Structure 1
Amino acid sequence: MNNVKSLITTSLAAVIAAGAVGGFSSSALAAEKADLEKCYGVAQAGKNDCKTLSNACAGHSLKDGQEDAFIALPKGTCERIVGGRLEASRAEAQ
C-alpha cells in the first residue's frame, strides 16, 4: 500500500513540475516569437511555416520560392535575402 501511495505522490510531483517548466517554456517561446517576421518568397517546396493563399496547411508549398509561402525568420533577416519580401504576392494564388 505504501508503494502505491509513494508512486501516486511521485507522479503528482512530476506533473506539477512539468507544468511549471511548461509555463516557463511557453513564455520564453512567446518572447522568441515576438522577434520573428514572416518572410515570403524564400521557402523551399514543402517547407513553408503556415498556410498560403493557395493551400491550407504548413509544409504544402508547391515549389521553391512560392510567392505566397513564408517562413518565420528573425526580424531584419528577410530583407537581406535575395527574393525575400515581408508581404505575400497575391498574383500567384489566382
Structure 2
Amino acid sequence: MAQSAAIENDLKNGKDSTSSSVKDRAAKTLEKGVQAAQDTFEQAAFQAELATEQAGTELRKITDASAKFVRNNPGTAVAGAVGVGILVGLALRGRS
C-alpha cells in the first residue's frame, strides 16, 4: 500500500520512473520477440532452400531413369503413353 502511494506521489510530481521501467522492459521484450521472429524466418528459409535442392535432385534422378527406360524400351513407352492418353481423354470427356 505504501509502495502504491509512493508511485502515485512520484507520478504527481513528474517522476515517472515506474512507467519508464515498464516501458524499458516492454521495449526489451519486443526486441527479443523481433529477434526470435527473424531467427525463425532465417531457419525456415534455409530449410526451404534445402528442400528445394533435394526436390531438384530427386526430379533429375526420375528424369534420368525415365529417359533410360524409354531408350531401352521404346515400344513399351509408346504403348504406355497411348494408354495414358486414352485414359485422360476418357476422364476429360463430358458425359452426355
Query: Where on the TM-score scale, by shorter chain, does this alignment land: which range?
Result: 0.3 to 0.5
Q: Larger % of helix: which?
A: 2
Between the two structures, name the one with larger relative contact order (CA 8 Å, sep ≥ 6). Answer: 1
TM-score (norm 1): 0.43
TM-score (norm 2): 0.42
